[in-house]
Each structure stands twice: as C-alpha cells, then as structure tokens.
Amino acid sequence: MKYINDSYTVESVLRGHPDKICDQISDGLLDLYLEADKSAHTAIECLGTSDTLIVAGEVRSSANIKITQSCQLLYRQITGLMPIKVIDLISQQSPQLATVIGQGGAGDQGIMYGYACRSKYNYLPYGYWLVNTVAKRLDSYREETNAFLPDGKIQAVLCENKVEKLTVNVQHKSDADLESLRTHIKQDVLYDINAANIVIVEDTGFIRGGFENDTGLTGRKIMVDTYGGLAPHGGGAFSGKDPSKVDRSAAYMCRFVAKNIVANGYAQECCVSVSYDFGQEHPAMIYVIVDGSYSSSVMEIIKTKFDFRPQAIIERLDLKKMKYMQTATYGHFTNPNYPWEKVISL
C-alpha cells in the first residue's frame, strides 16, 4: 500500500507572492537576530497589504535589530519594489516560555510530520519537486531578464506520475506581449518539461500582484513549504520561528529521519510523526508508517539512532548556524544541502 497515490495536484509560488514575501521577511529578521545573538528566540509574523507591512510576534534577544529599516531592505531585496510602510508590533517573549525553553522543554504542544519516498528527486514526489524547480527557474529568469513581475504561481496535475497539465501564471506589465512572454518561458524555463498540456499565463492576464492584489501572511503556504499537501501536516508554520520552536525543528527532524530510513533501504516510503507537550523535554509520541503500515523494527531503529529532545535536534542539525531566509522559498525539503537533508549510514 502506497502512502501517496500516483495521481495528484500540487502547486508552488514565486518569491514575489504576497504570502511568500511575508515568510521571507519573517525569516530574514530571524537571520538578523541569530547573526547578532545565537541565543535569540523569535516568533515573528508579518501581514502585508497594499503599501503597508505589519510585523508582530514575540522576541527575546540581546540584539538591537532595527525592525522598520530591516523590513524595508528585505522587501526591496525580495521584490525590487520601493520601500513599504512598516508598523512594528513586536513584543517581548513571555518569561514563562523563556524559562521552559531554557530548561530544554518544548515551547508548545504540537504535532509534526516528516515524509520521504524512493525517488531520484531528493526523495520527494516528482510533482512536488517539479513545481518548486519551475518556481526557482522562473525567479532566476525574471532576475536575469526582467521579462515579467515578481508574483506568480505554478500548478501541476499528475496522473500515474505523468504531468497531464502544467499551469504557469506570472505577473506582467499591462502592455506585455503575452505571446512573446509565453514563447520565452516555454523555451528558456520549461525546455525539459514533458507535459500533455502546458498553460502559460491565462488569457485574462495577471497584471496586479503582490500586496497590491492580495493580503500576504506568514505561514499561509505551509503546504508549499512541506510536501504539497501529499503528506500530513501538523498545522504549525516554520518561518519567523527560531529552532527552539518544535513546530520548525521537529518537522525538520522528522524529515531527516524519514529520508534516512528510505535512503538506508528500510522502506520505499516513510512517514514519521512526533508530538510534544508544553514544557516537556521528551516527545509525547513518536510514530512511523513505512510502506503503508506501522513497523516495530523501524521504530526501534528510530528510537536507537535519533534523539527528538528539542535541544538535541538543534545540536544534531546545527540549527543555530542555519540561514533561514533561503528556506522560505521553493520548499523546506527540496535543497539537498540543508542539514536535515543529509544522508547518513544507519
């Protein structure tokens, strides 16, 4: 029994999508805090609309980060657009939470999942890898050519692991030559993509984008961030959270474990889940599904080889040294160079 069927739909978005702008700014601020203070704890969320960015959340750090200036620089870096009005509503992290984290406990209750399958696409389903690869190529092409504007989406429909339809919608200027744009994207970006039907920029056009068109919010693209909705998700977002937050670090650990179970030949497909109680160092539960069913032998390997305590995860994956803004685009599990993507011998 396979965990994921061979017929499904997945999507990804470009760097200039409003939700992804917020994710990147949240993680960009996290990077600034950790660069100045490795002990910083953050839970930063952004909401962007029209010409305004609201930044909220909780921080505990000795670093003095200029939030307004930093957000404006990050917004310009991401979109190439003019500075945006910033409303800073960041507050101090609660003393209770600081105490719990300082004692090595989980800062919140929650459920996290990690998935991997036997695949040459970094142990991920082909469709999910495909849409994120296309998104990355489109962003690179836009930066090189200015052929279109920052916002955009990609969606793929697969049947029996073959691409039935690939839809690419990118924001463009009102006077853009759409036929020329379609031709260049097909030739320069989608040159090696085999699909029964490729749609590039709907006939209705896509002129207004970014915060001008839609409100953006940190954490609203959690399916793009993880497995495209093909594997379970506990609901907790990643961006803006330092690695003491198990929403992020334990999800990375679950992926690390699942990938290595598959890479070491113990399964064709693996899904690992873990849950925590607030303030507790050890997980409330660890569970694994391999090739469609529970495996006690694989569970024993996991218990023997992997430590799911929050501080142990941070140390094993070296999460205090990570630059997180790069993870906020194209999925958190598509880059084989991330520390939780490392294949080890079990």
Does residue 66 share a domain with residue 144?
no
When pLDDT is averaged across residues 52-74 and rounded to a whole number, the result is 97
Give yes or no for residue 120 having a pLDDT over 80: yes
Q: Are residues 317 and 282 in the same domain?
A: yes
Domain shared by 245 and 300, yes or no: yes
CB atoms within 10 A of CB 36: 13
pLDDT at 82: 80
**Is the domain of 87 the same as that of 25?**
yes
Same structural domain, 254 and 335: yes
- 224 within domain boundaries: no
The whole-number pLDDT of residue 261 equals 98
Last residue of a domain, one of 160, 177, 208: 208
Are 239 and 335 found together in one domain? yes
What confidence category does residue 97 fall into, taking pLDDT thresholds of 50, 70 and 90? Answer: confident
Average pLDDT (37-43) is 95
Residue 1 has pLDDT above 70, yes or no: no
The percent of residues in the chain predicted with pLDDT above 90, rounded, is 88
| Predicted model pTM | 0.96
Flag the least confident range among 76-85, 93-102, 115-124, 288-297.
93-102
Residue 317's pLDDT is: 98
How many structural domains is the chain composed of? Answer: 3
Instruction: Indicate whether 3 pLDDT > 60.
Output: yes
Q: Domain containing 142: what range?
A: 8-13+126-208
- Residue 269: pLDDT band (50, 70, 90) is very high
Same domain, 250 and 321: yes
Would you tell me the crossing angle of helices 178-188 and 126-145 to the nearest 10 degrees?
Answer: 120
∠ CA(96), CA(97), CA(102), 5° rounding?
100
The CATH code of the domain that includes 146 is 3.30.300.10
Which tens digit of pLDDT belongs to each residue from 155-199? 999 998 899 999 999 999 999 999 999 999 999 999 999 999 999
User: What proportion of the chain, given as a percentage, has pLDDT over 70?
Assistant: 99
CA distances from 52 to 14, 77, 149, 187, 256 (A): 20, 16, 19, 37, 38
Which among 176, 208, 240 is the end of a domain? 208
Verify that 244 and 285 share a domain, yes or no: yes
* Residue 132 sits in the same domain as residue 117: no
